[in-house]
Structure 1
Amino acid sequence: MEIKAFQELNLFGKTPVIAKIGGFRPDPAVHSWFAGHFFIDPNQGWPIDQDGAMIPILQIYLPEVPGGMNGFNECKLIQIFLNQNTLPIDITKNGEGWKLIEYSSIEGLEVAETPEEVRGLKPFQIQWNESEQRDFPCWEEAWSYVDLSEVNESEEATNPSLINTQIIRSQKSADMGRIFNPRPINNKANSCSKSPQKKNLVS
């Protein structure tokens, strides 16, 4: 039994990129880091909020990420900071308990020493590598891409062994000469300039 929904769903398979944090000798030419070695604009200084210096969590240098420049316009560097006292739980605006900063270039930026009061996390360099296997939407997400009514209405289609067979068959078919690139992100929502940009989760 061929299930059209599985064949359509397979078209949305993507090759994920995996971040390896630590466990290797740091490379001075690599700029992606966890918890330290962050680039800072000397004219702006270290990011602060109402509680003082913010904790450096993640710095992603997009040219180091396979396919990382897709959909980000001119943005090359992304940084995430957290408030030093409170971890934001609910959806909040950028700058309220957390901060996301973007740069279109690292020119003019300087690697800054993390302020002493926010050095609780040990810094590690990050290596980015493509996974050997593609990833696909889970069942809940799949309904956003294809109509799975055929699967729900068929007793045979809900058989676990059949589902696995259909997925494997669809993957083999799609892998023959096809390359699926990540969908571009809305350009208007991801504009990037030399100056730090703030991203709002809530308008």
Structure 2
Amino acid sequence: MPLSRILDQLGDGNPQLYRELRSRVQLYKVVFVAGMAFFVQLSLCLFFARQISVQAHRYSRYVSWDGLGNWMVRWQLWSWDLFVVLSGIQVLMLFGLGTYLLVSDFIREKRRGTLDFIRFSPRSRQNILIGKILGVPILLYLFSGLMVPLHCASGLAAKLPLSVVLGFDIVLLVSCTLFYGMALFLTQVASDWGRNPSSIQH
């Protein structure tokens, strides 16, 4: 199914989401984000692979030695550290950059006056909020989603249960949704207070 038809179907259910996706889901942006996700994961794998080079890192934490000079790679620890780093990147990207994108988009629409136009649309505020939360950081969701296979693989290699690995991703998404909603709410309150501080005091 063509991408334009998918967007049109989304527009029937949530025009705000359609509006956000229409302005952000473009081929060159998708290719760039996919390339960045691949580059970050490749760089991490090469970095961690270098840590088990016996010649360069005889005392690497990922290499254990016995009294006879024989060595073996501690793959479980190696995979665990990779899993932790990937988890940290996802948290920082979604919470930090995602919040910045939503707040900056809100402020930009406020300055342009398009926010008031959106409010007077026949759609509910919940519908508009969902459209914003799902649409504005869509490229971040793509970036994070492309990291899921390596994230899951490293977690399983570290002997973590699949339920724990997938549970982390689910909790992260739910937490982001709540955090984004709170960030937009506080931005709205701060904007209203800046426009009419006397109304807040009384």
Q: TM-score, normalised by structure 1?
A: 0.23
Higher strand proportion (structure 1 or 2): 1
Q: TM-score, normalised by structure 2?
A: 0.23
Whichever of the two has the greater Rg, that structure is 2
Tell me: higher relative CO, structure 1 or 2? Use CA pairs within 8 A at least 6 residues apart.
1
